[in-house]
Amino acid sequence: MPEIETKAQTTNYPQKIKTAILVIGGAEDKVHGREILQTFFNRSGGCDATIGIIPSASREPSLIGDRYYHIFQDMGAKEIKVLDVRDRDQGNDPGYLHYAETCTGIFMTGGDQLRLCGLLAETPLMDRILERVRNQEITLAGTSAGAAVMGYQMIAGGSSGECPNRGLVDMATGFGVIPEVLIDQHFHNRNRLARLLSAIAAHPDLLGVGIDEDTCAMFESDHIIKVLGKGTVTIIDPRAISHTNYDLAHGSEPIALHNLQLHILSHGECYDLQQNQPVKG
């Protein structure tokens, strides 16, 4: 007979809590069921969670940090701290570094992904957070801009409503939390399929992941992506690409892409990153 996990057993974090990386498409439900935020809270330890909020992508970090603070406070987190980094020197703040050593979950808010990376990339604070994520010691979540930075190659900006072309997307370097993927967010809500295709044309060794609003691609430690929320996650697999004119196309000239695989996953469905195919949840 399987052992029943009790409340007392779940307090030995991180041994009993399964950590994850939650990549959220933005505009997640903050009022009603809060399914995605509740999942982050649970994966961070539930009522034993010590949560750090990084609002650095926002131009109003105090306002956005306070909003998420009260959300996780209402859920019952044991401790919450807003890591309000507004210049790179604060990425070496002893208090923030100590909190990064002891927290069980980090949440990166939306805003401007270039601002977020500019303030935190290669700082002692972010380096330690990423190390603990890689060691599966803490749960990490990012919404909107906080999602965009998850890959090593990052979509920094661009347009929509056009065919794929070089001028449609601006690229930069992200945090490299999940280096094998290329993330776009607010995906179908802002008609960003062509933008992601343009980015994939430049980086055909990466898996494209487009995440709708109020939707989460949750990356598990067993290389499974699980979809949460009300929208879809679009997976673009370019491994079998047979032709592209990317090297010949210039500016707004259309990019051709042959033999891409595209999967659209909804709530509860999963994708296996090792087998490169959808699987039953």
Task: Report which of 185, 219, 175, 75 is spatially closest to residue 227, judged by C-alpha positions.
Answer: 219
For residue 71, give every residue at least 6 positions away whose Cβ sits within 8 Å of its Cβ, in sequence order, or none: 30, 34, 37
Annotated catalytic residue within 56, 58, 144, 198: 144
What is the rounded CA–CA span in Å between residue 247 and residue 208?
Answer: 19
Catalytic residue list contains 144: yes
Q: Is 279 helix (H, G, I), strand (E, B) or coil?
A: strand
The letter for the amino acid at 58 is: S
Active site residue 213: yes
Residue of 213, 223, 250, 266 with catalytic role: 213
Q: What share of the chain is helix, strand, coil (3-state, %, to 5)?
A: 30, 25, 45
- Sign of torsion, CA 37 230 27 260? positive
| Token duo for residue 195 | 């933008």
Among 186, 221, 253, 269, the one annotated catalytic: 186
Number of separate helices (H) and strands (E) present in the chain? 7, 17
**Dist. CA 84–CA 67, nearest whole Å:** 13
Active site residue 186: yes
Residues assigned a catalytic role: 144, 186, 213
